[in-house]
Structure 1
Amino acid sequence: MLDKMTNRLDFLGNALVLRAERQRAIASNIANADTPGYVARDFSFGDAMREATGSSSGVTRMATGGSVGTSGIAGAKGATDPRHIPLPAATTGTGAPGALGYSVQTQPSLDNNTVDLDRERANFVDNAVRYEATLRFINGNAKTMLSAIQGQ
């Protein structure tokens, strides 16, 4: 019975961690917008959630969206529990399965930098709004469970 009460919180917790990782990747792209030869990185949030939850059910579709580029999610290196969330590995540039994907270049540049600053800013804001919404859902669920426990 406890599983039924905490499944939604676990799902939203996974979404929150992945949103934070995606925000970090987008911030790195923005910070390197003027670095010659820098290749923008991103990952598919939907694929990451499916991998983190271990399903492709309809509940996963609830929090997906807002991703650009190819997908790729890191394996859980050093994970002590099979339910741990695999996070994108920003340091692996091998292109192996599990690495961050490369964003598709929309405008060629002379210095071979693939960061589209307008797209990255839009992704940053979109991801920040979704992160905030996930936090609000978690707070709402926690308050609902607390009021149910207290009998109010």
Structure 2
Amino acid sequence: MERNDHAMTAIRDHLGIHADALVLRERRGMVLASNVANAATPHFKARDFDFAAELARATGGAELTSTHARHIPVGQASGPGGLGYRQPVNPSLDGNTVELAVEQMAFSENAVRHQTSLTLLNRKISGLQRAIRGE
């Protein structure tokens, strides 16, 4: 059993940050999709999380700081999984904080980055398969 644990650790180390990033990108995509789906729901509060901080937390790295005024500050993250509330630029009269253009752009960017993480992870796995086959 110890040998299997060592092998799994070696594979996990080889895959690196890409596996963690893929899981977080998927989770963020669901949060952003929920925001878009509730764009017309009165009093709905748009949610998001600081991807870089969550990735650092997942990989045991140091906590990162935001570099742009529209990033969600780490200190504001609350609730399950570090979810925080997005601060709207133009809040609606019905109390909904979803700004459709912001959410769509964040969703599109996340989708592109998700695909990039998936591509990098697939390349790592292909490399492992070639090594196992002795190519």
Please tell me whether Structure 1 or Structure 2 has the larger radius of gyration of its CA atoms: 2
Task: Deviation per CA, 1:81-123: give whole Å up to 9, x if none.
Answer: xxxxxxxx3xxxxxxxx54100011112111111110010000
Cα RMSD for the two superposed structures = 2.4
> Which of 69, 72, 80 does residue 72 from structure 2 map onto?
69
Runs of 4+ in 1 over 4 A off after TM superposition: 1-5
Residues 43, 136 of structure 1: CA spacing in aligned structure 2 closer, same or farther, 3 A cutoff?
same
Aligned AA for 1:13? A
**Superposition map of 1:137-152 within 5 A:** 137-152=120-135
> Which of 1, 8, 20 does residue 14 from structure 1 map onto?
20
2:54/2:82 contact within 8 Å kept? no
Among the aligned pairs, what percent are the same residue?
38
Structure with a larger share of its residues in helix? 2
What TM-score does the superposition give when structure 2 sets the normalisation length? 0.79
Q: Is 2:104 the counterpart of 1:131?
A: no
Aligned to 1:36: 42
Q: Which runs of 5+ in 2 are unaligned?
A: 1-5, 65-69
**Post-superposition shift, 1:12?**
1.4
Aligned to 1:84: none
**Post-superposition shift, 1:5?**
4.8
> Which of 30, 33, 46 does residue 27 from structure 1 map onto?
33
1:29/1:120 contact within 8 Å kept? yes
CA distance in 1, matches of 2:71, 2:14: 26
Residue correspondences, number: 122
Residues 147, 99 of structure 1: CA spacing in aligned structure 2 closer, same or farther, 3 A cutoff?
closer
- Indicate the SS of the match to 2:56: helix
Aligned to 1:110: 93
What TM-score does the superposition give when structure 1 sets the normalisation length? 0.71
